Structure 1
Amino acid sequence: MSRQTPSQTVGPYFAYGLVPEQYGFDLKSAFPTRLIESDDPAPRVTLTGRVLDGDGAPVHDALIEFWLARGEAPPAMCRIGTGTDPQCRYSVDLPRPQAAGNEAPHVDVIVMARGMLLHAITRIYLDDEAQANAADATLEAVPAARRHTLIARAIGHGHYQFDIRLQGENETVFFEL
């Protein structure tokens, strides 16, 4: 089992400090916790999952930012914490990502958590976009044996499962920008 290091003593503060409404605090969150409203008629998806540490245990205080390109408009962004769900899951509703140029539909993701001195950047692709995924230059640059760590799997109509593994077996591919 992993033990905390001295650098991990700076948290946990990300989630409840940066998304206080989600945690029931009487403070306004600086950013929304969803990318689409419930009455929006646009095609939508729900992403759910957990952030897992090197031992495969759920991280109860991770903060995840989801960024979604919107054509010529600035990207939309929301923040979700993992600490309000008993299983440490996140869940986010968003418009279904659209292909842009030669990129497959995807969501850009930034992960922050206790013990991480720098944030981690990844992408989420949808498994039912196989043809577009096969032509995506970023996904193609990832070794074939690791691409599955970037693909959310459909578990129902418009509902996808995507766990973010910070270390260990099947570690999510993270990008350096």
Structure 2
Amino acid sequence: VIDGAGQPIGDAMIETWQADAAGRFNSPTDPRGAAEATPAGFRSLARVFADESGTIVVHTVKPGALPAEDGAVEAPHINVGLFARGMLERLYTRLYFPEDTDAHASDPVLSAVPEADRPKLIAEKTDRGYHLTIHVQNTEGR
């Protein structure tokens, strides 16, 4: 997590909320009804603090695609809420996965983001999982 001056935000905290591997939320409000989480014991929510370098590590499963309210399909993603110094309210973003490019094209939320900004929401695949740098203040003039 990086601030507008390019400095790490060592006191940031994120809250993630995501579907399980089958694309279902661990919620009684899931319109498809109750189901066992995939994998068993999976929790849809996490809260994690940054270290002094602004790094936050979340151990989770890759979510499956899930139905959107309008009948479309949302690409696999993780919802992220960010809390940090000087912020009175959390900021929201999403993390998408680079291998799901076909699903990105029809995702209703990602499609609403200006095309030039969409890459900022797509994580990079690494040897250990995925990496996404979250810039709290835009330094590109948009």
Give your verdict on TM over 0.5.
Answer: yes
CA distance in 2, matches of 1:119, 1:72: 21
Give the aligned residue type for 2:133.
D
Aligned to 1:119: 90
SS of 1:94 mapped into structure 2: coil
User: Are 2:124 and 1:136 equivalent residues in the alignment?
Assistant: no
TM-score (norm 1): 0.63
The answer to which structure has the higher strand fraction is 1
Aligned to 2:35: none
Give runs of ≥4 in structure 1 deviating > 3 Å. Answer: none
SS of 2:87 mapped into structure 1: coil
Aligned to 2:26: 73
CA distance in 1, matches of 2:109, 2:140: 18
- Mind listing any 5+ residue stretches in structure 2 that lack a counterpart? 28-42, 68-72
* Count of residue pairs brought into register by the alignment: 119
Aligned to 1:53: 3
Give the aligned residue type for 1:77.
L
Alpha carbons 2:2, 2:135 under 8 Å: kept: yes
Aligned to 1:106: 77
Give the aligned residue type for 1:120.
L
CA distance in 1, matches of 2:77, 2:14: 15
- Mind listing any 5+ residue stretches in structure 1 that lack a counterpart? 1-50
Give the aligned residue type for 1:91.
V
What do the CA deviations read for 1:89-142 (whole angstroms, capped 9, x no partner)?
111111111001210000000000110011101100011111111110110111
Q: Aligned-residue CA RMSD in angstroms?
A: 1.9
Aligned to 2:131: 161
